[in-house]
Structure 1
Amino acid sequence: MSKARAACGFITTATVSGLLVALPALPSQAAGDCPTALPTSEAVDGLEGTGYTVERGTTPDPFGAKLLGRITDGIAPGVDMIMADLDSPALERAGGVWAGMSGSPVYTSDGKLIGSVSYGLTAASNIAGITPAEDLTALGAGSGAAATVKVSGHRAARLAKTGETSKALAAKGFERLPVPVSASGIARRHTKRFLKSVTAGSGMAVRSGGARIGVRAQSSPDEIFAGSNYAAALSYGDISLTGLGTTTYVCNGTAVAFGHPFLSAGQVEYSVHPASAVLVQEDPTGLAGGPFKVGNPGGVVGTVTRDNTTGLRSTLGQAPAHQFPVTTLLKNESGQTISGTTVGVYQTYAADIAALHLQAAVVKALGAQGGGSAAIQITVNGTRAGGKKFKLTHSDHFSDSTDVSYLAADSLYFMILPLISQSFEDVQITDVKISGAVTSGIQQYRVSRMQVKKNGAWTALKGAQKVTSGGSLALRATLTAYRSTKTVTVPLTVAVPKKSSGFTGTLTVTDGLSATSPDREPTSLDGLLKQINATASNDSVVARIDLDTPSGGQVSGTAVAHAEGSVSPYLKLLTVDVS
């Protein structure tokens, strides 16, 4: 067995020469060669092997592995789980296998790959579940690994004989090792909506305060090798959403990691990053869900293309094709312009990524996550079927006495989410640009009076309104500033639909946030884009006449007025008769 790891992603002889006397070396893989997989049928009780994983830094450390048999179809139909008792000083310090060991390769004494450490018992223990090498080397179709792998009574008794666990605990079964999912730069509060998809997909709460991956960080694909740290990112930059695990093997420019799913999403596009492990955080109380690895990811070195039952498959040396920068330029009340950039990678979470970035950018510009106001302009660019480009723009004001960042982020989230979830065409977001200004003051208005013009005079808007077919209804709203006597008056002239004589309906006056569209669900992407672009802003007052036609349909006329700040909830509903 060679003592060096060669060109297919392995450390060179010179790198490890100082360690060879004391530590076992990883099996050699010549450039272009895949590891030799141990047949699953030969993974029998009593077979011993050596595994590799990183506790600190970037150099894998060895651990012992003694096989304890297999659970037939334990991971998925046709995919057995190999049980093993692991041992190393690092495992003893941590109290058992840790989140972040997922993908750690285990080899026989003659260099065959047994599989990857990817599962553990429901409590910290040295007993691990191994995804078989035959399934890892055939990584391809399929998704959705079992959340829990049951253990029969006689197998539970066998595990108990190791002294590493009780029969009762073993009977509860194996769970896939959690992937430590971290987020850099996110706001401290009100992020649950934007992290919901990541939490649900990964099965693990996202830990804030993770390491930021620099947009221009430089790393080499050679930093990904068997036993190395392996980070899969949904975004990087100011908001870096990453899952940290271990590489199982690399060959022919393809890396396989984790040994179980990340989000279990099948065909995907995440970015691949090497990482330096800072520490394995112990969890003696069990309150953190078990020990977990903490690391600092490097630059982009590849693309995850499959997120399958048996792990992640990625192409090294190739950046994701559909990345989208989210940029902000926000001027604060001190006159400073605060910039920020997040590169989104996973298009499915584009709304979440953009919202998290904007929320954090507002907090950064204000210097706190608190009350204030924001005047923001948003541009979303993208492509649709055939590479045709589209653009969405939206300008708005937001204000809140407790957390203005959430209101701004939530608006962006619901601007992008319909594009991502629609079923009409394949859509790719290409960039999101946000500019504007923020202040700690509350720039907010309430509708204090509504008037209608009749016979050349303005009177209070009340009672049934008589209008003329094809004519107009002249209205005006008096807006009073937040905690002030200052007022502004904005006009709203609503056009009455033509050929509507004899129709009846309603006049609705409301703030923009509460305004609803009378349109039906869009039946095309063009219709959806039009609907998003027509969404009333938070700083508007909307007046709309909806008339019922004799055929059962509806015709409408709408007027919108804007204020220099957000408008508090308001609703006035009156009947309309057309002559």
Structure 2
Amino acid sequence: MTNRSPRRPGAASVAVTAALLAGLVGSLTAAPAHAVAADPDLFCDIPGQELAISPIADLQDGDSVTWLSTVKGTTPTSFTGEYVGKLENGLGYDASGNPRDLLLVKLDGDIVNGAPGSLAAGVWSGASGSPVYDADGALIGAVSYGFSFLADNVAGVTPAAYMKAIGQLPGIQKLSPAATNRAARMAGEEAVAETGTIRRLEPVRVTTGTTARSLDEYNASLAKKVEGFRGVAASGRAIDGGANDGADYPIVVGGNIAVSYAYGAVGEASVGTVTAICGDEVFAYGHPGNWNSKLSANIHGASAARIVPDLTGSYKLVSAIGKVKGKLVDDRLAGVRGLLGAGTATVPITTTSLVGSHRSTAVSHVSEKQLIAAAAYTQVGNEVARMLDNGQEASAKVSWSIVYQRASGAVATLKNIDRYADPNEIAAYVGAGVADDIAQLQANPFEDVKIVSVAVAARFAEDYRAARLAGVQMLKKGTWTTLTQGSVTKVTRGATYSFRAVLSPIPGAARVTEYSPFTVSIPKGVKKTMTIALAVPGFGDGFGEEAEEPKTFSAFIAALDDNARSDVFDRTRTYTSTHGLRVARTSTTVAPTVLIDDGKTVLFRLEAPALSTQR
């Protein structure tokens, strides 16, 4: 089995040249049409949005600059600064083998440098994408890289020309001899961005309904458990806060922009700054997010609470993420590009939770398919903690329906149900079943499957209820009578008898004895004695070492549908027929609580009268 770990964001230095080299010698698809100006001296020539590109070759050390960024709310603030130079080939070579420089700007302002009563923040996470302008108002580029975790006020700036070209990928072309030689040299050279002297100014990673760490850990566990599954997460520095409030926050130059893979009850987004807007195109960050344009993401406005100075790197504290304002179309080295308007399609995850007679519904909207499983897991776990106001001891009965579309276009539904109980971490378990089914469907080896929707119904109780099979009782003349282990009870052929399994609480569980009724019919063809054995089955996922691997998609679905529940026990009856045949049949009974397999089998016998012998 090949284990794949989900891509994780980090504040480590960005290595660019090796990845770009692959683009030099391979074929790339053509990009869609852009609204940006064809004139290389202009970023945008749309009336009312005209924006020139600063001729960076003319910039001199000490030249004054201005820059925009949002430090509170949604309105950008203008700051000053000065140009202090460049790092040659700081961003590595482009797909044609041309070096790309990283500009250096010293940023000023009360927040960057500090003021009486406040600490200096330097350049903060979430500032990436902040536009920098020359004295004539032409766009120099976007704040994007830093050089220290301390409160440093010098930032690396991605030139505007590189950002304008985001998504404009080259077609198939043969390299000239000079370009081929340059590519060969590149394989042995390091750009400045590959060293420890430069780091990406991380966007702020905002995760709602859970923590970024929990989401990452569960994505990693799914990748280990389900062959072929890979999770995804938003990039950036993880912070607390940032609930999705659905407000109509604007997307403006210098303002906040959130790139989300999910929003709603469970959300996962990166928040940075808008560099430029041209028509319906939005440019931001000045560096990659996840550096994967194949991921499906929406863009939102966002509101900032404050800039927080921190010894490990200052950051923007995001107070809220607003409604969808468009979709992401490019996630490239020079930044991200989005389109204003309709967002990308999302998969709804709906949970309906009950505690007593109280009912509550929560919905998440997930745009990136590889986040659906982790979002469902997180949402169910979050619901048990929210509804009970208790993140530790509880019990739950959870059912789920996953609507999926097959490669043929046919739509089908997978339904399952299970019980969960834990005295310490109930939230860590209640969503595991639905998440596993989603991941298995997505990673199945037979055909591409698209998840259409996920619905979960859960009933929660604050007690920790778990039991073991302790014995069995038989209804005799209206009274429940305990049968001893291995006992023999006289019965009549063709009659049906009522029994109930005795379920005793395990140590630490709520002191409640529960019962699970069942009936046994005595066949007319039984020779004499029928043996009944009750046992809790061992756990499995349907694809264990002893199970036969499914050979078709239908067999795969059947195995998923036959999930191993934690609230059942097996009833096996064996007897010899009057024809001398040995008969053994097993059926499953659903119990009202989680059952723990302690290795014990409850056994009793039912004996019919001896048959008369005919001479």
TM-score (norm 1): 0.72
Distance 2:430 2:245 in 1: 25
Structure 1 residue aligned with 2:559: 531
2:270 aligned with 1:270, yes or no?
no
Structure 2 residue aligned with 1:438: 460
Distance 2:295 2:468 in 1: 46
The SS at the match of 1:232 is strand
Map 1:418-437; keep pairs closer than 5 Å.
418-422=440-444, 424-437=446-459
Structure 2 residue aligned with 1:138: 165
Map 1:250-289; keep pairs closer than 5 Å.
250-283=277-310, 286-287=311-312, 289=313
Structure 1 residue aligned with 2:238: 206
2:86 aligned with 1:58, yes or no?
no
2:354–2:360 Cα contact (<8 Å) kept: yes
Judged with a 3 Å threshold, the aligned counterparts in structure 2 of structure 1 residues 405 and 225 are, in CA distance, closer, same or farther, namely: same
Q: 1:408 aligns with which of 430, 448, 461?
A: 430
Distance 2:252 2:387 in 1: 40
Structure 2 residue aligned with 1:553: none
Structure 2 residue aligned with 1:568: 596
Judged with a 3 Å threshold, the aligned counterparts in structure 2 of structure 1 residues 209 and 112 are, in CA distance, closer, same or farther, namely: closer
2:121–2:307 Cα contact (<8 Å) kept: no
Deviates more, 1:37-46 or 1:266-275: 37-46
2:325 aligned with 1:297, yes or no?
no
The SS at the match of 1:399 is strand
Judged with a 3 Å threshold, the aligned counterparts in structure 2 of structure 1 residues 521 and 113 are, in CA distance, closer, same or farther, namely: farther
Structure 1 residue aligned with 2:331: 307
Q: Which has the larger radius of gyration?
A: 2
Structure 1 residue aligned with 2:6: none
Q: Residue 66 of structure 1: CA displacement?
A: 2.5
Q: Residue 379 of structure 1: CA displacement?
A: 0.9
Structure 2 residue aligned with 1:384: 406
Deviates more, 1:29-38 or 1:80-89: 29-38
Judged with a 3 Å threshold, the aligned counterparts in structure 2 of structure 1 residues 66 and 328 are, in CA distance, closer, same or farther, namely: same
Structure 2 residue aligned with 1:193: 217
1:99–1:177 Cα contact (<8 Å) kept: yes
Q: Residue 38 of structure 1: CA displacement?
A: 3.8
Per-residue CA deviation, residues 321-373 of structure 1 (Å, 9 max, x unaligned), is 2x01111211113x211221222222221111111111111111112212111
Q: Residue 82 of structure 1: CA displacement?
A: 1.6
Structure 2 residue aligned with 1:119: 145
Structure 1 residue aligned with 2:85: 69
Judged with a 3 Å threshold, the aligned counterparts in structure 2 of structure 1 residues 313 and 510 are, in CA distance, closer, same or farther, namely: same
Structure 2 residue aligned with 1:92: 113
The SS at the match of 1:359 is helix
Letter in 2 for 1:434: V
Gaps of 5+ in 2: 1-34, 37-42, 95-99, 115-119, 170-189, 224-229, 473-482, 488-499, 521-534, 573-584, 602-615
Distance 1:521 1:82 in 2: 57
Distance 2:425 2:216 in 1: 14
Superposition RMSD in Å: 3.9
Judged with a 3 Å threshold, the aligned counterparts in structure 2 of structure 1 residues 514 and 268 are, in CA distance, closer, same or farther, namely: closer
The SS at the match of 1:131 is strand
Q: Residue 86 of structure 1: CA displacement?
A: 1.3
Deviates more, 1:518-527 or 1:268-277: 518-527
Per-residue CA deviation, residues 457-479 of structure 1 (Å, 9 max, x unaligned), is 99769xxxxxxxxxxxxxx9764
Q: Residue 92 of structure 1: CA displacement?
A: 1.7
Number of aligned residue pairs = 475
Per-residue CA deviation, residues 376-398 of structure 1 (Å, 9 max, x unaligned), is 11111122324321211111111
Gaps of 5+ in 1: 1-7, 10-26, 143-147, 153-170, 451-456, 462-475, 494-507, 545-556, 574-579
The SS at the match of 2:275 is strand
Q: Residue 40 of structure 1: CA displacement?
A: 5.8
The SS at the match of 1:267 is coil
The SS at the match of 1:122 is coil
Per-residue CA deviation, residues 111-156 of structure 1 (Å, 9 max, x unaligned), is 33221101111323111111121221111278xxxxx97489xxxx
Q: Residue 489 of structure 1: CA displacement?
A: 5.8
Distance 2:263 2:350 in 1: 12
Judged with a 3 Å threshold, the aligned counterparts in structure 2 of structure 1 residues 201 and 328 are, in CA distance, closer, same or farther, namely: closer
The SS at the match of 1:511 is coil
Map 1:484-495; keep pairs closer than 5 Å.
484=511, 486=513, 488=515
Judged with a 3 Å threshold, the aligned counterparts in structure 2 of structure 1 residues 185 and 203 are, in CA distance, closer, same or farther, namely: closer
Per-residue CA deviation, residues 517-549 of structure 1 (Å, 9 max, x unaligned), is 4445556554443332222122234699xxxxx
2:542–2:560 Cα contact (<8 Å) kept: no
Map 1:7-46; keep pairs closer than 5 Å.
30-31=46-47, 35-38=51-54, 41=57, 45-46=61-62
1:60–1:228 Cα contact (<8 Å) kept: yes
2:324 aligned with 1:324, yes or no?
no
1:71–1:151 Cα contact (<8 Å) kept: no
Distance 1:281 1:274 in 2: 20
Letter in 1 for 2:136: D
Judged with a 3 Å threshold, the aligned counterparts in structure 2 of structure 1 residues 127 and 174 are, in CA distance, closer, same or farther, namely: same
1:190–1:406 Cα contact (<8 Å) kept: no
Letter in 1 for 2:52: T
Judged with a 3 Å threshold, the aligned counterparts in structure 2 of structure 1 residues 77 and 107 are, in CA distance, closer, same or farther, namely: same
Q: Residue 433 of structure 1: CA displacement?
A: 0.9
1:377–1:393 Cα contact (<8 Å) kept: yes
Structure 2 residue aligned with 1:157: none
Q: Residue 189 of structure 1: CA displacement?
A: 9.8
Distance 2:305 2:550 in 1: 50
Letter in 2 for 1:385: A
Structure 1 residue aligned with 2:134: 108
Structure 2 residue aligned with 1:18: none
Q: Residue 438 of structure 1: CA displacement?
A: 0.6
1:397–1:539 Cα contact (<8 Å) kept: yes
Distance 2:381 2:44 in 1: 48
Letter in 2 for 1:225: V
Distance 1:199 1:45 in 2: 45
TM-score (norm 2): 0.68
Distance 2:588 2:50 in 1: 64
2:303–2:321 Cα contact (<8 Å) kept: yes
1:43–1:70 Cα contact (<8 Å) kept: no
Judged with a 3 Å threshold, the aligned counterparts in structure 2 of structure 1 residues 235 and 378 are, in CA distance, closer, same or farther, namely: same
1:51–1:64 Cα contact (<8 Å) kept: yes
The SS at the match of 1:58 is coil
Distance 1:344 1:398 in 2: 25
1:379–1:391 Cα contact (<8 Å) kept: yes
Map 1:217-228; keep pairs closer than 5 Å.
217-218=247-248, 223-228=250-255
Judged with a 3 Å threshold, the aligned counterparts in structure 2 of structure 1 residues 511 and 441 are, in CA distance, closer, same or farther, namely: farther
Map 1:468-507; keep pairs closer than 5 Å.
479-482=503-506, 484=511, 486=513, 488=515
Q: 1:367 aligns with which of 389, 404, 424?
A: 389
1:397–1:538 Cα contact (<8 Å) kept: yes
Letter in 2 for 1:407: Y
1:187–1:359 Cα contact (<8 Å) kept: no
Structure 1 residue aligned with 2:261: 234
Q: Residue 58 of structure 1: CA displacement?
A: 1.9
Distance 1:409 1:415 in 2: 10
